[in-house]
Amino acid sequence: MIKRLNFGLLILIFSFVFIGEIQNTFALNNVLDPELKNEDKIIVEEEETFLNKIRKLLDNNEEQLEKDTDNIDEEKLQIEDKDGKLEDKGTVSEEDTNKFDEEKLPIEDKKDKTEDRRIVEEKEAETIDHKDEEEEIEYKVIFKSLWNKKTHPNKFPEDASFSTFVGIVHNKKACLWKEGNMASKGLAKLAETGKNGHLEKEISKMKKKGGIDDKFFIKGGKSSDKERKTEIEVCEEYPMVSMAAMIGPSPDWFTGLDSVCLIEEGRWVDKKIVMIYAYDAGTMEGKSYEDKGKKTQPQDKIMRIEKEPFLCDGELIPVGCIMFVRDDD
């Protein structure tokens, strides 16, 4: 019973406190409300003042714009000629008009136009003929020696051999060697010693100039060795192949290919065999396999050797052959 009375008293006290807080809150709102209304009123007044200023500024700008427009309408655009006279802008003098009327545009000759069209069509046809379904064409390059005691019996050396073949895939901008030209230092070193380091440096320089696409090698060895081969890739931009290797022993003799093109009649060849002969680099005076001789002063041009020991019974015998076989696999 006592517990119930205590619980009831607690509820009654709590009710009085809650009602008092509500009354205080209403009283506080009545005090603060006028201040809040005053602040809102101030903000509205400031906004109206700001808008009035904007309106005045716009009105002033419109008036100024109208004045500027009137001034522009009243002024005439004029330009000063060389004599200091004033003319209205955009007008053309009668003298200029007469000059223009007297000038006549050249008429294109129909014959020249037809000729130009024919040249263009021929170039396009040539390009189309040279094109292939593949951008790069693969070839096997096979070297077969024909230099031995039977084919070249005249003082044939016991240690006959070829140095490593150095080859390039190139276009007309590059030249490894050419009969009738002077041998480069790199080619001379190759022909005299069989070393190709200097020639490779020359090839690298030519490649930077855009004449060479790639270089390749075919391993050297005894002249009696079986065929040796490698693989290359050619393309329309670089359709030519050149090669060189020392004939040893010799003073400055070498063999190889000069700018053999693998495009014939507008198409890539399926198979091509080229006979290769002995050449004199023109840098040493030796006359036989074992005779190095002295340095040739001045240097001679590259020439094919058309006498002994490569001339047999009046016939010039090749020292080897190089075969190109298209590889479609």
Answer whether residue 61 is part of any domain. no
DSSP calls for 152-209: --TT--TT-EE--EEEEEE-TT--S--TTSBPPHHHHHHHHH---HHHHHHHHHHHHT
Answer whether residue 135 is part of any domain. no
φ, ψ of residue 217 to 5 degrees: the values are -135, 150
What residues have CB less than 8 Å from 203, skipping those under 6 apart? Answer: 166, 168, 176, 186, 212, 215
Helix (H) or strand (E) holding 213: strand 212-218
Answer whether residue 206 is part of any domain. yes
Answer whether residue 88 is part of any domain. no
* CATH number, domain containing residue 164: 2.60.40.2130
**% of the chain with per-residue pLDDT over 90:** 52
How far is residue 131's CA from residue 274's CA, in Å, rounded to a whole number? 24
Residues 214/234, Cβ–Cβ less than 8 Å = no
246-284 residues labelled b (16+ CB within 10 A) or e (exposed): bbbbbbbbbbbbbbbebbeeeebbeebebebbbbbbbbb
Q: 211: closest CA among 182, 188, 186, 240?
A: 240
Residue 53: its pLDDT value, please?
52
Answer whether residue 43 is part of any domain. no
How far is residue 270's CA from residue 159's CA, in Å, rounded to a whole number? 36
Number of domains present in the structure of the chain? 1
Answer whether residue 163 is part of any domain. yes
pLDDT in tens, the chain (329 residues): 444 444 544 554 544 444 444 444 444 344 344 444 444 444 445 555 555 655 555 455 555 545 554 554 554 444 344 444 434 444 444 454 444 344 443 434 444 544 454 444 444 434 434 444 457 999 999 999 999 999 998 889 989 999 999 999 999 999 999 999 999 999 999 999 999 999 999 999 999 999 999 999 999 999 888 899 999 999 999 999 999 999 999 999 999 999 999 999 999 999 999 999 999 999 999 989 988 889 999 999 999 999 999 998 889 999 999 999 998 86
List, for residues 10-53, the tens digit of each pLDDT value. 554 544 444 444 444 444 344 344 444 444 444 445 555 555 65
Answer whether residue 36 is part of any domain. no
> Range of 270's domain?
155-326
Answer whether residue 149 is part of any domain. no
Q: 172: closest CA among 234, 232, 240, 123?
A: 240
List, for residues 217-265, the tens digit of each pLDDT value. 999 999 888 899 999 999 999 999 999 999 999 999 999 999 999 999 9
Sign of CA dihedral 44, 47, 52, 58: negative
